A and B are shown apart, each in its own frame.
Chain A
Amino acid sequence: MNMTPDFSRAEHSISVEQISRPSLSYWQDAWIRLKKSTRALISLYIVIALGLFTLIGPLIWQVDPALQDLNQISQPPSFARSAILVGPFEREETLIDPNHPEEPAEYPDVIPAPQGLRVVGDATTQHIRIAWEPVDGAGGYAIYRNTHEPEGLNDLGLPLGNTMTGNEISYDDRLSLNQQDYYYSIVSTDGFDESDAYTTLKVSPAAAITKTEAIQRGLLEPDSDAAFGDEVQLEFHPLGTDYLGRDMLARLMEGARVSLFIGICAPFLYVLFGILYGGFAGYFGGGVDSTLMRFADFVVALPFLLFMILFKIAFGIGPGESGIMPMLIAMVLLSWPGTARLVRGQVLQIRNNGYIEAARLLGAKDHYLIIRHILPNTMGVILVTLTFAVPAAIFTEAFLSFIGMGVAPPTPSWGSMCNEGVKTMLSHPHELIFPAAFISITVLAFNLLGDGLTEALDSRMRSRE
């Protein structure tokens, strides 16, 4: 039998597997995968920008967020305005026509509308004085103001005031005047009921500021020799002002500090606690696990708002003081069970994997197993929980400040700013839109970043590629 060998000795090969690319750590790999998701990347940039806005912003935009500018109340976003200097307002006596009776001997059935309606002096946003000719048979006049030309008796606008006799023939208006057109209408009255005729005058006041106030606000040097009538630049409010003339941009920055402090501190603390708690329960399992998890179930049942109020009282936080610390503590104490459950589930699963068994057989100690094998594998879940917890915490803060449980005035937070803004939503939408937009963008950015991180960090997703 010719025995030909089926096997021959192979040629010794020197070729080994070529490592053509540098080896990647878990984090480097995650980063590459994160970069592939544009959404996540943009969100990351937004989060970084928010951080800069909060930390660096106040250093660049050094405006006191509590400073009230009553000359520019509820201004929409705009470029810097200027105003003319005027003297201090002094209430003058109402003009009285000495030749006209206070009340007519008898009221006619129809009292005509006054004629000769005119502006006395300069019409400025500090003060508008209008005057008219007295009407025979009038026992007083009613003064209305509107922002468009009246279309009829029902469209005269705001009833500013009344003069109570027929010979008082002027009215001083200072009621929240802006640089816009006003239509003043005058109706004669019999001292009680108004007649059905009116005359209207259009007035366009010039923006004005008193010299004393300009100096006080630092718009002029104290020893400035600027004369009345000169122009002066008013404070610049790029995002407009709120209902007390406070700078929106400065308030948003200050508010961001509160909102992001709560939004980052609270989740960080309770996620950390949740990891320890859940990890402990999951790793040791059995009786320890059931006991710990039943306690977590118990904590879930506790009402957050009630505890928040209890903490506020227990801490002796009086009225008018910030409720941020009790809010933080209530959140940390009551929000961890979610994370704990998640981490426990993850640990339970990983604990039974083959490589853990193998490592244990090779003599690995508990702490080595936890640090080297279990924690890194739960990292994905943890980071994702964290990124989702941030918007949740920002929302909670916003909600609590919205109902008045959070910051104390004048400190703003985005939530309390929304609360104020919603009251003037129709007339001054910017007061609501800006803080609401910041909350929305922040929450969205953290959510999308969370999404991106889930994909980047999850090892199962990696194997699918």
Chain B
Amino acid sequence: MRTPLKQLIALFLLSLANATVLSAEFETTAVDYDNQEITIALTQEPPQLNGMKATDQVSIMVLGHVMEGLVGYDRRGNVVPGVAERWEIDDKGATFWLRKDARWSNGDPVIADDFVFAWQNTLKPETASEYAFILYPLKNGEAINQGKMKPEDLAVRAIDDYTLKIEFERPTGYFIKLTAFTSYYPVQRKFFESKSDRYGADADDLLYNGPFRIKDWVHSASLHMVKNEHYWNKDAISLNAINAEYITADTRSRLNLFIDGKIVLTRLDGETYKDALTQKFRIRRFTTGSVFFLEYNHRPERITRNVNLRKAIQHVFDADEMVNKVLATPGNLPGKSLFPVWLGGVNDKFRKEYKAPEATIDIALGKKYLEQARQELGIDKFPPLVLLVSDSPTAAKQAEYMQGLLKARLDLDIKIDIQTFKQRLAKMTAGEFDIVGAGWGPDFDDVMTFGDLFASWNLNNRGRYSNPEYDKWVRVAMNSADPQVRMDAMGQLQQILFDEAVILPQYEQGVIYLLHPKVSGVARRVVGPDPDFSHARVIK
């Protein structure tokens, strides 16, 4: 009886020792200078690595490392050549000349037909790509997406293997910036057809033309990217591998991973930044480019349709106070307009050329507007307004702040409806709210990505705001390639948004994050894959 037990213990101890040895072997560190490798954490498992369908940040970030479009962005956000060597764009269309040395990860050259195929495929109604609209500037794109025309009718032609000719539906001054977007990445026809439904589902089910390729992908656990030896510009890439060893969105555990030296980058929130401060890490700041605002429900049955009610709220809300005292994390800017400060205008920044109108904080005036609204609506007392927000801690705090503010200053009652992100979107679409805390991030680097948000036909205009004047100016901007005309139209939109108090801008989002001191060259981007480690390197 005794011996087996002893053996068992010995065996157990042995296996324990083994396990320690093994775990030491697999011990990961954030940076490896000799091998030029870094380890990162993803916030979630990429739901979709099919570039034609991807919509979320993580997928776009991963795809940005393993794919390359016609053009890309450099560290400072300027457009640089990608697969295309040079290009010509005018009101009618564009021509791209592709570089001859761009290759897929199987060695095949990247040819013009790969773009034609990808774009046709994205627009096909069967693909059901949520981002199909971003290809609407291509002639017949919208008709194809609505099933009125065949994909072959798309006015994008491969003149030869290295020349791509594009016709526009309407003049599109910002087209070059669109071509850097995920939905514009190429797809090899032969490869896609051999995979069909499996395309993008696993590491082997994707063909790569970017600086990296996915070596292995263990779903929900890890994703390893290694340098793509077929990439045309591989000499400019220092990193040999980017290992996503962890998948977690919890900022606390990500911070712990960072403290333990396991990952190179993590984002901080209102709570974790205090720990980062005590740990004496260099905190960095970055503006995400997204604008957060309260959107009113403009449907006829809602009292928020009344412009004077919205004006009343506009005159008692102080964005500066909210950013500094309620959000209280650095990096956020007080919201003044739907158009964030970083957007380019004609020659300078848009917001420098077209100053955002500002409402004075005047409670007496606000009350006057409210009284006017009450008379117009023909009610004795305002019913409680439903404020719909998502279930993040900051969103709930902001909602409570607004509730207290409107009660104290206007005696308006607010009911807070906290929902998950998905449920909030569903409720927004169904119009089950009076006011909703919404945000909008840019898809491409042009004012239009914000400007057409409140056009009556835009499906993301969940409050169903409809104003012919607004639609008119959006059309003016859409149908012109002249920057002056386009920006003037956008300036008009900014004024309408203010005059009618269509939305209540709250803040432009900023985030703070930690970056490993031995990693340099990481790009944080407002548009496109973020963070971008493509040109990062490990320094000594």
Contacts and interface: CB of A to CB of B under 8 A. Distances in A.
A424 interface: yes
Interface string A150-169: 01111111111110000000
A152 B408 CA distance: 45
B331 A159 contact: yes
B404 A244 contact: yes
B280 A424 contact: no
A204 interface: no
Interface stretch (A225-233, A269-277, A315-323): A315-323
A320 B415 contact: yes
B419 A174 contact: no
Interface string A409-437: 11000000000000110110000000000
Given A156-B282, A410-B400, A319 B417 contact: yes
Contact of A159 (B274, B324, B328, B512): B512
A159 B281 CA distance: 11
Interface size class of B (residues with CB under 8 A): 35 or more
Q: Tell me the interface secondary structure of chain A in the complex.
A: loop
Nearest to A142: B285
Contacts of B331: 159, 161
Contacts of A318: 386, 415, 417
Most buried by B among A67, A161, A409: A409
Nearest to B363: A216
Contacts of B330: 158-161, 175
Interface residues of A, number: 40
Given A158-B512, A244-B404, A319-B417, A70 B321 contact: yes
A70 to B, nearest CB: 5
A88 to B, nearest CB: 8
Given A66-B404, A73-B325, A427-B274, A162 B282 contact: no
Contact of A162 (B283, B285, B517): B285
B518 to A, nearest CB: 13
A363 B414 CA distance: 66
B403 interface: yes
B404 A68 contact: yes
Given A66-B404, A68-B408, A89 B320 contact: yes
A443 to B, nearest CB: 27
A200 to B, nearest CB: 15
Interface string B267-308: 000010111010011111100000000000000000000000
B419 A319 contact: yes
Given A159-B331, A161-B330, A66 B407 contact: yes
A427 B275 CA distance: 9
B472 interface: no
A244 B328 CA distance: 11
Contacts of B280: 151-152, 154-155
Contact of A158 (B277, B325, B363, B388): B277
Interface in B398-449: 399-401, 403-405, 407-408, 414-419
Given A154-B282, A158-B512, A175-B324, A404 B400 contact: no
Interface in B356-379: 363
26 contacts: A67-B404, A70-B321, A89-B320, A154-B280, A154-B281, A154-B282, A154-B517, A158-B283, A159-B283, A159-B284, A160-B285, A160-B330, A175-B324, A176-B328, A318-B417, A319-B419, A320-B386, A320-B387, A320-B417, A404-B418, A408-B415, A409-B396, A409-B399, A410-B403, A410-B404, A426-B274
